[in-house]
Chain A
Amino acid sequence: MIEIRWHSRAGQGAVTGAKGLGSVVATTGKQVQAYALYGSAKRGAAMNAYNRIDDKPIRNQETKMFPDYVFVIDPALAFTDDITKNDKPETQYIITTHLSKEELISQIPALQDKVDRTYVVDCMQISLDTIGRAMPNTPILGAFMKVSKMYELDFFLDNMKKVLSKFPQRIIDANMEAITRAYNEVK
């Protein structure tokens, strides 16, 4: 079982991102869960989304998890959220930031013993450059593919196209570019 916790703000597309990841993974015969903890949250409020991925049907309906991966898709949340909550020795962190990895970690004490399992990528800038607005949910998945080696980039792109098929072609193209850039730029 792989478990992922997203740290996001309502409106940044974490739920859509989590469901998109779930949809891609499900095409390979795996079982998935994609859910979020929200409700009356206003746009901009901090929230969590979650993924579970397994080879057998997933029964666990507990919200809390001990994540294998933590995605932080809003730069400020790395500082204000408890992003290392329920950390395991092997938990890996993929954080959106304009800072270098060294600069970021120097400012976040909780990450200082997790240097070798922390990755940074500027999904905000990437999405602004490609999609035209701050929508960090799809680029973080490109970074995740690189870090986790879950799927080849091309396979993931092809399947994401299907997930996004209801959008206009230029949006799909922009998302593909964003995913590819994040895949290449994550450090």
Chain B
Amino acid sequence: MAKEFELNEVEVWDGNYAASQALRQAQIDVVAAYPITPSTPIVEGYGAYVANGYVDGEFVMVESEHGAMSGCVGAAAAGGRVATATSSQGFALMVEVLYQASGMRLPIVLTVVNRALASPLNVRGDHSDMYLGRDSGWIQLDAYNPQEAYDLTLCAFRIGEHLDVRLPVMVHQDGFTTSHKAQNVTPLKDDVAYKFVGDYVPVNDMLDFSRPVTHGAQTEEDWHFEHKAKQHKALMDSRTVIDEVLAEFKELTGREYKRVETYYMEDAEVALVVLGSSVETAVIAAEELRAEGIKAGIVSPRCFRPFPYDLVRDALDVPSLKAVCCMDKSAPGGAMGALFNEISAAAYTTESRPLITNYIYGLGGRDFSIEEAKRIFKEQKAHADAGHITTPIQQFSGVRGPKLGFFETRRG
């Protein structure tokens, strides 16, 4: 029986510690992990809880992140509550197994501390790894600060393990900006947190010897498509369960999370669509601009997958809305940013049809400032006043050197 961990009503925790405490409170059976900056303290923390008797589980040391996720798949198929953490190159090495976990419908929780992908090698936060996971069939939730990293990790188990869902869940937080920044966190007591998460209910567990099952079967063209269709439907349908779990969490804690977060959108004329810790900074910029008379708003798809197409459309279907900038914190590799593409598709079906532009920003942990957010808002205001996009459609924010931009509007 695990010992209770003494917690203060308010703790000062960084995002990593907050996530590791959530793993402890969920009483994970198995963590198979390989360390990588900046997510190492999450699994290091879990290892310490096991060693000190605060959790009744197993820490499995593996030889790589591919091994880590493989170990998690094995343990989850065996019938355990399983989680791990990774970042960047480690995430990239896990990718092959991520697809297996979701296809096998194993509700593993992966706490991802977002970090840039090499080359050049960089340990700081951007969204390259998060974007790399976006077709992997996992639910992806995005935390903007340590409190959210804690809260959403607890919610992740409820969502993924729900009998109607049974899909793996990633909880993202920004490397260093969130993972290494200590802020006030109000944790739940151990028993309250565990009661919220609930006992693990095994499904098709390999350790049930009364019902031997085959996991990981091969399907060729005659069966594969049906299985992928079923899996996609489960991911799309998980939206309802995510909403239910978040509503229940609000009931318990008073802290409200939505699949799409909106700030000041009711009468917004210009908006930023942004993810991660930058949301917080952008909200301050919007507040300051509103004091100057610019009606600025923010939209953030906190639930990155399944992509909340309908809710994004609702958020952007504001009659006053004229111009929107989608902020992608990942090098797009010869395309428009992923948020730009997905938000544009949703906005295309709105009545207001705002002008939409794309900024690539914050790569390799480049600081995103309130001033820069305000400048970008003001640029949107200029598009709105002109009635057409006045800059290249894709631009770079905060990069040194001559201005970098691609594609021009044909209007105006």
Chain A interface residues (CB < 8 Å from chain B): 18-19, 22-23, 26-27, 31-37, 39-40, 57-64
Contact = CB atoms under 8 A, between A and B. Distances in A.
A57 B368 CA distance: 19
Given A59-B281, A62-B368, A35 B180 contact: yes
Contacts of A26: 10-12, 184
8 contacts: A19-B12, A26-B12, A27-B8, A40-B37, A40-B123, A59-B281, A61-B181, A62-B369
Contacts of B177: 35, 61, 63
Nearest to B277: A61
Nearest to B122: A39
A64 B369 CA distance: 8
B12 A61 contact: no
B182 interface: yes
A40 B116 CA distance: 14
Shortest beta-carbon contacts, A-B, top 9? A35-B181, A61-B277, A59-B280, A34-B182, A23-B12, A63-B367, A39-B123, A22-B12, A62-B369
Contacts of B311: none
B284 A64 contact: no
A48 B177 CA distance: 14
A36 B182 CA distance: 10
Given A61-B281, A62-B369, A33 B37 contact: no
B367 A33 contact: no
Contacts of B21: none
Contacts of B10: 26-27
Contacts of A31: 183-184
B281 A60 contact: yes
B56 to A, nearest CB: 23
Interface in B120-145: 123-124, 144-145
Contacts of A33: 181-183
B280 A34 contact: no
Contact of B12 (A34, A39, A60, A63): A34
B20 interface: no
A39 B182 contact: no
Contacts of B14: 35
Nearest to A25: B12
A61 B145 CA distance: 9
Nearest to A24: B12
A139 B316 CA distance: 52
- Of A31, A59, A63, most buried by chain B (CB within 10 Å of CB) is A59
Contacts of A34: 12, 181-183
- Of A36, A39, A40, A64, most buried by chain B (CB within 10 Å of CB) is A39
Given A35-B181, A61-B278, 14 more contacts: A19-B12, A22-B182, A23-B12, A26-B10, A26-B12, A26-B184, A32-B182, A34-B12, A35-B180, A59-B284, A61-B174, A61-B181, A61-B277, A62-B369
B92 interface: no
Contacts of A63: 177, 367
A6 B283 CA distance: 26
A62 B372 CA distance: 10
Interface string B189-211: 00000000000000000000000
Contacts of B145: 61
Nearest to A59: B280
A62 B370 contact: yes
Interface string B10-26: 11101000000000000
Contacts of B368: 61-62
A33 B277 CA distance: 13
Contact of B281 (A27, A39, A62): A62
Nearest to A57: B184
A59 B283 contact: yes
Contact of B280 (A22, A61, A64): A61
Nearest to A15: B180
A158 to B, nearest CB: 15
A62 B174 CA distance: 12
B176 interface: yes
Interface in B132-182: 144-145, 174, 176-178, 180-182
A45 to B, nearest CB: 14
Contacts of A61: 144-145, 174, 177-178, 181, 277-278, 280-281, 368
Contacts of A32: 12, 182-184
A84 to B, nearest CB: 19
Nearest to A63: B367
Interface string B267-280: 00000000001101
Contact of A35 (B8, B37, B182, B184): B182
A39 B144 CA distance: 20
Interface string B309-341: 000000000000000000000000000000000
A58 B183 contact: yes
Given A26-B12, A32-B12, A60 B182 contact: no
A34 B284 CA distance: 19
A32 B11 CA distance: 10
Contacts of B123: 39-40
Contacts of B182: 18-19, 22, 32-35
A35 B177 CA distance: 8
Contacts of A18: 182
Nearest to A36: B180
- Of B37, B183, B280, B370, most buried by chain A (CB within 10 Å of CB) is B183
Contacts of B367: 62-64
Nearest to A30: B184
